[in-house]
Amino acid sequence: MTRTAAREIAVRLCFSLAENQADPGALLPQVFDEEYYSTLETEDDLYKEKPDQKQLEYITRLVNGIHQHSAELDGYIEKYAVGWKFGRISRTAVAIMKTAMYEVMYMPDVPSKAAINEAVEIAKSYEAPEIVPFINGVLGSFSRGEL
């Protein structure tokens, strides 16, 4: 599994946590349970390969960190989404931006440009074409403003 796929799984898990007000400590073991995970692979190619230990640690670190810093990350989105009310931004876009922002702020082993580029690429698969430049703009402004 590539880091890109692991990042995309993390985005999906963050979306699920926000949607269901779940706790990552309960969700992560359930999702990565061997039997449950094998059912996911029949639904989506993203889950064809199970993460190895290193990728699982990366996903876990991202999901737990985003959950712990959720309010802070929401604040950055509000600050840099000029002209947009937070409630108007899709939850998918929020999950994508929070993932990139967390990597930029708290994962020095991930280059900022890589985190932002990956977020934009993930957004292309989940968002309307006109939303992708918005996500890129918010993340670019965030990177310039906070680093």
pTM of the full predicted structure? 0.95
Q: What residue segments make up the domains of the chain, in order of their start?
A: 3-146
pLDDT value at residue 62: 97
Whether residue 101 contacts residue 139, with contact meaning beta carbons closer than 8 Å, is answered with yes
Residue 20 has pLDDT above 90, yes or no: no
Is CATH 1.10.940.10 what the domain over 3-146 is classified as, yes or no? yes
Q: What is the pLDDT of residues 89-145, one digit of tens each?
A: 999 999 999 999 999 999 999 999 999 999 999 999 999 999 999 999 999 999 999
pLDDT-above-70 percentage for the chain: 100
Separation in Å, CA 99 to CA 1, 40, 45, 49, 62: 18, 22, 21, 21, 7
